[in-house]
Chains A and B, each alone.
Chain A
Amino acid sequence: MAQSDGEQRSGAPRDLHLTEVSKRFGDFVAVDDLTLTVPEGAFFALLGPSGCGKTTTLRMVAGLEDPTAGTVSIGAEDITGLKPYKRPVNTVFQSYALFPHLTIFENIAFGLRRRGVKDVKRQTDDMLRLVQLEQYGGRKPAQLSGGQQQRVALGRALINEPGVLLLDEPLGALDLKLRRQMQLELKRIQTEIGITFVHVTHDQEEAMTMADTIAVMNSGVIEQMGAPTELYENPRTTFVANFLGQSNLVSTDVVDSSGSTVIVDCHGQKVGVDESRSHTDQGKGWLGIRPEKIFASQRDSEDLEDGNQLTGGVVSDVSFVGVSTQYLVRMPWGQELMVFEQNTGQRQSFKSGDEVDLAWSPQHSFLLDADQDAAAGAVREDVG
């Protein structure tokens, strides 16, 4: 198996392909017609709320679950029907699943021994060094801290140099500080070894800091896939807009979609959205603006030439959070919009009841199909 890995790697790229994969548990559809490609060597994050099917997807890649339909392949090789132990795939389990009766050394050497690899000792020592656990080889898992156990789980999978490494919320159990540290470490190891990581998380910050590509999953389907900035700046669905960061979504009517800036009517006030960020061109649409992209100014004090402006807001709530001040501004049509002002000291601050206008540049907003629920993905677990 190890040899065939090598051969394959030198030939065609060992991309991971999921093609029209579905998984049903009885009537319940856990993964629905999912298609995605993870390029070889990529750090790919699968992001989504609890229960959306992330673990199920990973388990199908690992072979621990059989897809109801569709195929899984690595490079040109279809592995859909392959038993887990025959796949060039290893998993770092959400719960680590370290073998309690084996030492750390033996845990890490486990895969090598099963494959009958020769220089187990050297490779395992190297791996212990890589995950910085050289002096812990003789201990049992129960004698390690959570972070150390996590590194054992990682080393145990990595040492096999799998075509694809699956990580199922490996950092979920760690406290914030350790999690940040481990995120950096994971990223370092991935860069060093250069194998494909598929990293499952429901922490959007984690996904954005680590991954080259993020797929946002919801109810068994992938809502959007792309680079972190792409997903953040130009979400295609309300779910993504709300799940990644926060968004103000305002109901509008498309007035003119012929130019490079789509003009929409927002409760009587006209604003523009870059065409590349408009995902609808007629009828109603959700205008999306990130709170930190909005400038608030005293009523009628500023007049932006080519910016967007909504006037007539009244500050209804102010919360000071250090680096920024968060305002809630009640608009004439009753909706409250969120505005984050950086505390640079350059800009005026407001208090409740102040009348303000809101401004932003057309490249900083996006327009979404009005058929979707504006609140999709907004209610999330509190992360971190």
Chain B
Amino acid sequence: MNPSATEAVNVTDKPGQRRGKGWLLLVPGMLWLLMFFLFPTVQLFFTSLYDPSGSFEQGYAMTWHFQNYADAIKETSDLFVRSFLYAGITTLVCLLLAYPLAYAIAFKSGRWKNVMLVLVIAPFFTSFLLRTLSWQAILADQGPVTGFLRALAILPDDGRLLATPIAVVAGLIYNFLPFMTLPLYASLDKVDHRLIEAAGDLYSSPFTGFRKVTLPLSMPGLVSGTLLTFIPASGDYINAELLGTPREYMLGNRIQSAFLVEQNYPLAATLSLSLMLLVVVMVILYIRRSGTEELV
């Protein structure tokens, strides 16, 4: 804020001259990244430039066909938009649901804390696929939920939940809620209750205290929670596949069918990389904006 303060900070932050072999600690991580991130990404990048007129049977020739990107994005722009829209709604709703939940677990659950945490992660004990399949049954046209909503005239008599955008987004929300809840909980649990008392002592109403103290202190959890939700949700295809129709399909569906059904590797690689790139850009912008780097 003022120049002398920044100077003062640097005094405490002396670069370690004696670190010596410290970089060795980076080796396992670097190797890991190399093997499981860099290597596949480079592969994917090359694959995305194959001649699109090849086929799995005849092989794909490397023609450095950058045009693939323009073609793919033009062809699937609606899927990109829909993926980010669904992922965005999912993230927002997850945040609205998970924040009070994490807050209650961190501050109000008392001796039930561990039980509640186990309940939050309990869905992970069954597979993602099975859980989504059971949502198929829950939301089925002849199922209890649909029947109930029809009885209340919230849904028209021939209305349905399954195979609608609502079902897809609900499935996404359900599946990613723990990814939002856990980091939020971890952050909130670390918030010293005495700080909230101190805010109250300093003329903050409970709401202002929340806004000025609890919320900023939970930002790291909020940011990681939204990332952990948004990133996988934008690439998800299981929910759209099982709970939606082709009209709800997301980019992930196209990628999976390009990879696994058509074996159109250049298209699949192009779409995967484009999605990755877009997400990375969004994440960087988001982190910049939320200013998490400055948080303690």
User: What is the interface of chain A, defined by CB distance below 8 A to chain B?
Assistant: 1, 62-64, 83-86, 89-91, 93, 95, 97-101, 103, 105, 110-111, 114-115, 135-140, 142-143, 156-157, 160
Contacts and interface: CB of A to CB of B under 8 A. Distances in A.
A99 B203 CA distance: 14
B192, B199, B203: most-surrounded residue (chain A CB, <10 A): B203
Contact of A84 (B1, B9, B200): B200
B12 A143 contact: yes
Given A93-B194, A95-B194, A135-B8, A140 B200 contact: no
A217 B200 CA distance: 27
A138 B6 contact: yes
A135 B5 contact: yes
A62 B209 CA distance: 16
A105 B2 CA distance: 11
Contacts of A136: 5, 8
A138 B202 contact: no
Contact of B197 (A84, A86, A111): A84
23 contacts: A64-B200, A84-B197, A85-B200, A85-B202, A91-B198, A91-B201, A93-B197, A97-B192, A97-B194, A97-B195, A100-B217, A101-B219, A101-B296, A110-B199, A110-B212, A114-B203, A114-B204, A115-B203, A135-B4, A137-B5, A138-B1, A138-B4, A143-B12
Interface string B203-229: 111001100110011010000000000
B26 interface: no
A97 B192 CA distance: 8
Interface string B1-21: 110111011001000000000
B216 A101 contact: yes
Contact of B1 (A89, A137, A143): A137
A383 to B, nearest CB: 24
Contacts of B217: 100-101
Chain B interface residue number, banded? 20 to 34
Nearest to B194: A97
Q: Count chain B CB atoms within 10 A of each CB in A83, A89, A90, A110 and give the residue with the most.
A: A110
Given A101-B295, A103-B1, A84 B216 contact: no
A99 B213 contact: yes
Contacts of B6: 138
B280 to A, nearest CB: 27
A85 B205 contact: yes
Nearest to A100: B296
Contacts of B4: 135, 138
A138 B197 contact: no
B193 to A, nearest CB: 9
B245 to A, nearest CB: 46
Nearest to A156: B202
Contacts of A97: 192, 194-195, 197-198
Given A64-B197, A137-B1, 13 more contacts: A1-B203, A89-B201, A90-B202, A99-B199, A99-B213, A100-B195, A103-B5, A111-B203, A138-B1, A139-B8, A140-B296, A143-B9, A160-B202
The listed residue with most A CB atoms (<10 A of its CB), out of B2, B12, B295, is B2
A83 B205 CA distance: 9
A62 B203 CA distance: 11
A134 to B, nearest CB: 9
Interface in B1-53: 1-2, 4-6, 8-9, 12
Contacts of A64: 197, 200-201
Given A143-B8, A143-B9, A143-B12, A137 B201 contact: no
A83 B202 CA distance: 11
Nearest to B12: A143
Nearest to B209: A85
B202 A110 contact: yes
Contacts of A157: 201-202
A64 B200 CA distance: 8
B60 to A, nearest CB: 52
Contacts of A143: 8-9, 12
A136 to B, nearest CB: 7
A98 B192 CA distance: 10
B207 to A, nearest CB: 10
A68 B2 CA distance: 48
Nearest to B203: A114
Contact of B198 (A99, A137, A142): A99
A137 B8 CA distance: 11
Nearest to A94: B194
Instruction: Pick the most buried of A86, A101, A137, A156: most chain B CB atoms within 10 A of its CB.
Output: A101
Contacts of B209: 85
Contacts of B198: 91, 93, 97-99
A160 B203 contact: yes
A103 B294 CA distance: 11
Contacts of A93: 194, 197-198
Nearest to A106: B1
A110 B219 CA distance: 19
Contacts of A138: 1-2, 4-6, 8-9
Contacts of A114: 202-204, 208, 212
A110 B202 CA distance: 7
B1 A90 contact: no
Nearest to A104: B5
A121 to B, nearest CB: 12
A136 B5 CA distance: 6
A175 to B, nearest CB: 20
Nearest to A114: B203
Contacts of A99: 195, 198-199, 213
A100 B212 CA distance: 12
A101 B218 CA distance: 10
Nearest to A95: B194
Contacts of A110: 199, 202, 212
Q: Which of A86, A93, A138, A140 has the most CB of B within 10 A?
A: A138
Contacts of B194: 93, 95, 97
A322 B41 CA distance: 76
Nearest to B193: A97
